[in-house]
Amino acid sequence: MNKLGVESIISNICGKNKDMKSHLFSADMKLADVIHADYSLLLLLHRFGINLGFGDKTVWECCEANHVSCTLFLMICNVYSNEQYLPTEKEIEDIGTDVDQLIAYLKNSHSYYLENRMFSIQEQLKEISEGCEQQHQQILNLFFNEYKNEVIRHFDYEEMTVFPYISNMVKGARPGDYEIGVFRENHSNIDDKLNDLKNIIMKYLPGDTLSDMRIRVLFGIFALEEDLSKHSLIEDKILVPLVMKLEQRYAKQ
């Protein structure tokens, strides 16, 4: 057997090439079963405006009841749960004008990241650094604020420029000279500092006080990082191609 063959066997054993289709969620599954299969999807419910207490309703029924596009909801669930999954071009095109719902979802995610996740990371960070030297406390706070501002600028650009452009286009207003290609080219990554923060807390922050709090904040950072990476994946691989299709469609009219 050649070397490449061995590589692919190893990656199969490690589960990197899991048979994907059989792992995807479908509309007729009970929503409760979906959550049991991957509890991280709980995070998505609120962003789509789906409340708990859904009994034995299927995914489709829950979406209907809450006026959520079932295609979109499933697509996002599958992106979150399957490393390998990306929707096909046809599936993305089928979202069509439900792009509004996708934008609402992205906006809800933004405020969740800022008001919920980053807020609690910052609070925990303050608590941890209270036991540290004054300078250390100061620089950590400075660093986190700088990171937060970077994220706010990033989200603001999307919410003030990109999303309104898309909504206006769908409403039929002639777009100005903006196009989604600009966003695609400039969509910056915002995870460097978050990754740095992990290493700072894990490897370099002196002292051994509040170790359970340190671990809790690390869990929070890892989870936020993972969530943000799915978030930008959704923007880059679903939102951008969808809007490009819409641009073509509206240009023809």
Which range in 4-12, 154-162, 167-175, 211-219 contacts other proteins by CB under 8 A? Answer: 4-12
Could you give the CA distance from residue 53 to residue 68 in angstroms, rounded to a whole number?
17
What SS3 state is found at 94?
Answer: helix
E-only strand ranges, 27-91: none
Q: Is there a contact between 58 and 30 (Cβ–Cβ < 8 Å)? A: yes
Which helix (H) or strand (E) element contains residue 85? none
Could you give the CA distance from residue 99 to residue 95 in angstroms, rounded to a whole number?
6
204 binds other proteins (CB under 8 A): yes
Which range in 28-36, 93-101, 136-144, 238-246 contacts other proteins by CB under 8 A? Answer: 136-144
Amino acid at 128: I
Of 30, 117, 148, 193, the residue at the interface with other proteins (CB under 8 A) is 193
C-beta closer to other proteins: residue 111 or 188: 188
The secondary structure of 9-25 as a DSSP string is: HHHHHTTTT--SGGG--
Binding residues among 96-125 for other proteins as defined by CB under 8 A: none
64 binds other proteins (CB under 8 A): no
203 binds other proteins (CB under 8 A): yes
Give the CA distances from residue 164 to residues 136, 171, 203, in Å, rounded to whole numbers and listed in that order. Answer: 41, 10, 42
What SS3 state is found at 172?
Answer: coil
Q: Is there a contact between 118 and 228 (Cβ–Cβ < 8 Å)? A: no
Amino acid at 19: D
Q: Is 18 left (phi over 0), alpha (psi -120 to 50) or beta?
A: beta
Of 35, 86, 200, 244, the residue at the interface with other proteins (CB under 8 A) is 200
Least Å from the CB of residue 4 to other proteins = 7
39 binds other proteins (CB under 8 A): no
Of 3, 21, 171, 252, the residue at the interface with other proteins (CB under 8 A) is 3
Which range in 20-28, 98-106, 158-166, 197-205 contacts other proteins by CB under 8 A? Answer: 197-205
Of 89, 115, 123, 196, the residue at the interface with other proteins (CB under 8 A) is 196
Of 33, 115, 146, 156, the residue at the interface with other proteins (CB under 8 A) is 146
Residues forming the site for other proteins (CB under 8 A)? 2-4, 6-7, 11, 16, 135-136, 138-140, 142-143, 146-147, 192-193, 195-197, 199-200, 203-206
